[in-house]
């Protein structure tokens, strides 16, 4: 006869690998859980999750960059680079050749047009000045007649309004003339540039653009250099290692169910500190139980073998006796209060849903 306890066939006691403060407990006793479901988190979980997300994004970028380098330039990119080189060469040839006769004639025509526009603006200033003088004279006469009582106030107001309008028209005419004069100066400067031919700095800039365009085309057609590919592969390896490290940190900060089952026990509460490996939750499949002995010594275990029949009685369920078979005998003994004891596992022939985790039992094992 031996002391024993009831335990789930599939059951685990869960703890955090690293110590810390409990931030969340997402389940309570009796809750059904699925394998992989998050049950609890330490305070470090939020930062760990953010770090893992950042590391995953960095890995995706590194992998995309490596894939792009391996694929090389797309045909349309090469065509675009070739077109850019042709355009740069054409621009260089145009700069070196200087302005054509048609361009010089066009520049001269723009100067003449700008001068004509400026002269028109000057004439409008003269007209606006004359209109303002006339309006001011009319206002003086109106004020004199009003003083003599010959006209009403309304006539004076109308004369004053015409003066205001005339002044505004003069301001507009002067602004238009200033803008026209600026266009004349710009057109004359452009004509001077066309007549003078290309400057040395323009030729140098056009030549440099041709070099840049040719270098870009050569780079695309030559493919990715080996050292660039090696650097990209190293970047992927580094990002992979960083993601693995971040994932480990997240796993240590989050507690997930390793199996489908029921929460049988919840230990620490939110805000409490837990040491590394300390029990936090117990989860098991509470539909299937087995019996484990707790006090079989080396003297008793020697007469037991796998396959031996056993009878089990429970202190908490009087009158119930379940039969079973020895399915495992631990080969390693543990010290219990000075005695070396071996755990023997008994698989029950039938289940009783009244059983509870660690419920005490008495086992009788046949030694025949």
Q: What pLDDT sits at residue 72?
A: 62
Q: What pLDDT sits at residue 199?
A: 64
d(CA 191, CA 108): 6
d(CA 15, CA 256): 10
Q: What pLDDT sits at residue 77?
A: 76
Beta bridge partner(s), residue 340: 335
For residue 243, is pLDDT > 80? Answer: yes
Q: What pLDDT sits at residue 108?
A: 86
Determine the average pLDDT of the residues in 45-68.
Answer: 83
Q: What pLDDT sits at residue 329?
A: 94
Q: Are 145 and 158 in contact (CB under 8 A)?
A: no
For residue 348, is pLDDT > 60? Answer: yes
Burial (CB < 10 A; 0-12, 13-18, 19+), residue 62, is buried
pLDDT digits (tens, 9 = 90+) for 154-206: 999 999 999 999 999 999 999 999 999 999 999 888 877 766 666 677 778 88
Q: Which of 197, 193, 211 is nearest to 95 (CA)?
A: 197
For residue 365, is pLDDT > 70? Answer: yes
Q: How far is CA 283 from CA 35, 231, 331, in A?
A: 10, 47, 26
Per-residue pLDDT band for 98 (boundaries 50, 70, 90) equals low
Q: What pLDDT sits at residue 198?
A: 62
Q: Which of 255, 245, 249 is nearest to 16 (CA)?
A: 255
Q: What pLDDT sits at residue 19?
A: 85
Q: What pLDDT sits at residue 196?
A: 61
Q: What pLDDT sits at residue 151?
A: 92
Per-residue pLDDT band for 210 (boundaries 50, 70, 90) equals confident
Q: What pLDDT sits at residue 219?
A: 64
Per-residue pLDDT band for 122 (boundaries 50, 70, 90) equals very high
CA atoms lying within 13 Å on the CB side of residue 299: 4
Per-residue pLDDT band for 99 (boundaries 50, 70, 90) equals low
Quote the tokens at residue 221: 């057609």
How many other C-beta atoms are found inside a 10 Å radius of the C-beta of residue 305?
A: 12
Highest averaged pLDDT of the listed ranges 13-22, 123-132, 222-231: 123-132
| DSSP per residue, 67-89 | HHHHH---HHHHHHHHHHHHHHH
d(CA 78, CA 86): 12
Determine the average pLDDT of the residues in 283-306.
Answer: 92
Q: What pLDDT sits at residue 100?
A: 59
For residue 74, is pLDDT > 70? Answer: no
Q: Are 52 and 272 in contact (CB under 8 A)?
A: no
For residue 248, is pLDDT > 80? Answer: no
Per-residue pLDDT band for 93 (boundaries 50, 70, 90) equals confident
More confident residue, 50 or 166: 166
Give the domains, in start order, of the chain with CATH numbers: 2-16+280-365 (2.40.30.170)
Determine the average pLDDT of the residues in 120-147.
Answer: 94
d(CA 1, CA 217): 89
- Those residues whose C-beta lies under 8 Å from the C-beta of residue 315, and which sit 6 or more positions away, are 359, 360, 361, 362
Q: What pLDDT sits at residue 51?
A: 83
What is the arrangement of strands in the sheet containing 38-42, beginning at the earlier edge strand? 254-256, 38-42, 20-25, 273-274
Q: What pLDDT sits at residue 354?
A: 93
For 142, the enclosing helix (H) or strand (E) is helix 101-147
| DSSP per residue, 262-312 | EEEEE-SPTT-EE-TT---EEEE-TTSEEEEES-EEHHHHTT--TT-EEEE
pLDDT digits (tens, 9 = 90+) for 328-347: 999 999 998 888 999 999 99
Share the mean pLDDT of the chain: 87
Q: What pLDDT sits at residue 318?
A: 92
Q: What pTM did the predictor assign?
A: 0.47
């Amino acid at each position: 006869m031996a002391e024993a306890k009831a335990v789930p066939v599939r059951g685990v006691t869960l703890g955090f690998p690293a110590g810390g403060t409990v931030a969340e407990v997402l389940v309570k006793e009796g809750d059904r859980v699925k394998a992989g479901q998050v049950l609890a988190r330490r305070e470090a979980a939020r930062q760990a999750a953010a770090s893992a997300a950042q590391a995953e994004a960095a890995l995706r970028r590194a992998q995309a960059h490596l894939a792009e380098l391996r694929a090389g330039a797309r045909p349309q990119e090469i065509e675009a680079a070739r077109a850019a080189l042709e355009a740069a060469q054409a621009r260089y040839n145009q700069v070196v050749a200087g302005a054509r006769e048609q361009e010089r004639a066009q520049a001269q025509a723009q100067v003449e047009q700008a001068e004509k526009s400026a002269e028109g603006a000057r004439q409008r200033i003269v007209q606006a000045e004359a209109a303002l003088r006339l309006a001011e004279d009319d206002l003086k006469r109106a004020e004199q007649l009003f003083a003599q009582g010959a006209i009403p106030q309304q006539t004076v107001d109308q004369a004053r309004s015409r003066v205001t309008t005339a002044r505004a028209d003069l301001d507009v005419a002067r602004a238009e003339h200033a803008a026209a004069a600026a266009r004349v100066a710009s057109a004359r400067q452009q004509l001077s540039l066309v007549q003078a031919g290309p400057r040395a700095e323009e030729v140098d800039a056009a030549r440099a653009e041709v070099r840049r365009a040719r270098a870009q085309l050569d780079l695309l057609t030559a493919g990715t250099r080996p050292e660039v590919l090696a650097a990209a592969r190293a970047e992927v390896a580094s990002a992979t290692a960083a993601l693995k490290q971040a994932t480990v940190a997240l796993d240590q900060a989050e507690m997930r169910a390793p199996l489908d089952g029921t929460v049988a026990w919840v230990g620490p509460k939110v805000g409490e500190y837990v040491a590394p490996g300390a029990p936090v939750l117990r989860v098991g499949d509470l539909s299937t139980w087995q019996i484990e002995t707790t006090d079989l010594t080396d003297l008793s275990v020697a007469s037991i073998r796998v396959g031996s029949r056993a009878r089990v009685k429970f202190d908490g369920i009087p009158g119930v006796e379940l039969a079973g078979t020895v399915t495992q005998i631990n080969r390693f003994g543990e010290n219990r209060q000075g005695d070396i004891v071996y755990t023997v596992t008994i698989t029950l022939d039938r289940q009783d849903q009244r059983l509870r985790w660690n419920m005490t039992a008495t086992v009788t094992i046949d030694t025949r």
